Structure 1
Amino acid sequence: MRRALKRLLGGVAYRRPLSVMALAALDALALALGVYLAAYLSGSGGVGETLPVLLALGIAIFAAHGLYDRAQRRRNPGALVAAVLWWAGILTVGTVIYPGAGYTLGEVLTAAGCALVAGAGLRLVYEQGIEWIYRRGLGLVPTIVVGEEPERARVRRMLELSPGAYFTAEELAVEIQGNGGHGLSVPRLRQALDRTGARHVILAGAERIPDEDLLEALRSVRLRGIRMRVAPGAVGLMSSRPVLSDNTGLPLLEVVYPELDNTQRALKRALDLTGSLLALVLLSPVILAIAVAIRLDSPGPALFRQKRAGADGEVFLCYKFRSMYADAEARQEELEHRNEADGALFKLKDDPRVTRVGSFLRRWSLDELPQLINVLTGDMSLVGPRPLPLRDFEHMDEPHKRRLAAVPGITGYWQTSGRSDLSFEDMVRLDLYYIENWSLSLDVKLILKTLGTVILRRGAY
């Protein structure tokens, strides 16, 4: 039970939404108590049908004052007082304009005072509860600390002394280069993130790391949805405005990778969700028929699950219809000498492991339909670089892994330009072109082009 609770509270993806919902519920309770108490003391009876409106107004004002932001902002008592006063002021104006609302000035002041006291008390209990959870080690976020030993020791000491949300899961040393400079090994950082499941990175002494290494690290953590913060030295503190983190006790600067337009990204995700849901609904009879045909053709499950390298090399389970015999992966090693693909890929035009139904599915690209589920979960997109099996990923050189700088897709430039007829270098070149020139219109164009490629069956085997 304790282990399950620890994993739940340590989930960075949903801990903030849960925190916002909990605080909003407490604020709504405080406002409701104020309104009911004012009505009781004035002897006016019930609060009528206006309570939901008053609560919605109050929550909106609280949000505008930053009371649902991160700890260092939401714990500002001045913001709470200002928000309650604004709520009372708007309610007073509304009462003057609409006397039929049923609230007098005395009731408004009573409601505001009670809401302020109740809200402050409930929020204090909430914050103390969060601190208690952290002290028990239940909600701590695994953190990787990167830097030289003295700087890592300083960060480690502060994390141990502060009852915050983070703990040191692993430490990485920066590398001393031949010219005496410092370098950050991004592959080692990726391995540490995979090994520890860390969701937070603190980089100490970033001012001595080359720009290209720092940008590559930022791109890597952004693709994984991980926050990176920098613990600056004295010079960095004098030339910037640090943010004191209540969870670490350290002055930290949050750094982000230059991202594409957020509106475009939101539209891309909307296209993915809409397209995948629509396709799954419309093609459900076809999907069911394929599953039955696979089971009748050869023993084994209809659905094939394979670990693949996604954005930034993060491993996920990719779904496909099984197009080979059940022991296909075990037999691959004995077929390595017959590999017809160049580079890191493995491909056989006449692969003896492919079943009769599987050959038909591959010819029409129907074996990839279950990947619509991966699109729904966010592991894949409708359009993007093709996710490769771990065997192929491990054979890739580090420069070739730049194609993983985007969420992988069911289709993309490589798939619409010849697929298996193209070389490995061509695939990497096309994927990099897509990443550098991405736009929503390009996605739509590639989706439409995919339909023609599937009908003509170019490069499919």
Structure 2
Amino acid sequence: MSDDTFVGAVHAEPAWEPISIGLPQRHRRRNFIAWSRRYVLTLAVADAIIGAAGILVPSRFSNTLNGELALVAALSVLGAIAWTTSISLARGYVRNRVGLGTEELRAVLRAGVGLVVAGAFPAGLLGHETLLKLVVVGVPFAVVVSTLIRYLARKGLHRRQRAGTDVRQVVVVGTSKAVRELTARLNREKHCGMKVVGVCLPSHEIGDVCGVGVPVLGDLTSVATIVRQIGCDAIAVTSDDATRDNYLRKLAWSLEGAGVEMFVDPGLVEVAGPRMHIRPLMGAPLLHIEEPHFSGWRKVIKRSSDLMITSLGLIAISPILVAIAILIKLQDGGPVLFRQKRVGQNGDEFWMYKFRSMVTDAETRKAALMAKNEGKGGLFKLTDDPRITPLGRFLRDYSFDELPQLFNVLNGSMSLVGPRPHLAHEIAQMPSEATRRTLVTPGLTGLWQVSGRSDLEGDEGVRLDLRYVENWTFTLDILILWKTASAVLAKRGAR
């Protein structure tokens, strides 16, 4: 493909006749602009109210402002303006970032730090106690509430996107194999808000069966023309032989002025942002991939947080543990706890504890049920397992049966967050790469559980566990713990 052929494709007739797929161009673009603008405007109005409240709250505790309603009102207006301006300067209202990544939340934190520096430092130097109190109390208040508002707004947006509304219309570009894989990932992660409306393939693959459930719109030289014709919001380009050399640069040139975002899939499915960095080398950008970290200060922080959170948690829920133990004993007189050998870090086996949720002879009856096994990848799973007692079903629905594993966390055989520990024979039937799960301590909860718990197939669960292992951060652990609570309360995937 020559340079002239590609660059000229913006104005030339496409090499493949595009297929009409719905709304006209202006309506399509207006749809994205409308919902993203509405989303950002809602956040801005909420931030203005929060900024005003950030002044009102500390002023209630300031003796110098008692009775000065006019001054408080003026400062509240100033707080609303200052807070929204700070977030805007921190790029917290960029429409193409809504619902994606952590930039929205980080913008709030940057705005808070900026306001503290801009307000508290001068107030401290001048000895202005009232201003100092307004800044020290008001800014953290605004940061916390604005972050909470964004979390709730994003949850609502993701719920609408899973239902198929408020999404970006995306065209995927690349070879048929890479396009099929990327499209499958985008369709699987519906909360990301990317709806694939068509694909563009190399000309020699146009006649192939793509198998992605969306139309083939044209070849690689006609992408810019197709984008303008159908009015999509973004294109996603795969990393393969067809898109190497100067293709991306020429494609970017041809899309100038179209108002379309361009995403490039680096082909590193299980490597997340914290390990990927752009490094310039001799004037050319290279993608630098850091090694995963399994030791050092990160491990110390993880273990320390496990001990602190678990100890406090056990003290708080000790009455619940005693009550469950009594109910299990009264049920059939059998043992309260069920213990089983699982594979832990470095492949070492350990005893994992759970509240008994099955009949006392459950293991003996398992062989007779293997023919009905619904699990994959070496896992045994049965939706309506007859061995589960009525009390056990309730305990499993809310994951109460797993509370004794907190003692496994205390003795170091498990962590609060990590890959799910499996039986030795289950791991033996998994793909060879599944052994990398043992590089870290297994967890009471993990990425697998918050992504669907036992609703996920075995291979998909292993993939999520490996993603956690390769990209662990303390922030990821906090996020998983937060999502675990909502998954348990909603009884999603409970078995």
- Is TM (by shorter chain) over 0.5? no
In the superposition, the TM-score normalised over structure 2's length comes to: 0.40
In the superposition, the TM-score normalised over structure 1's length comes to: 0.43
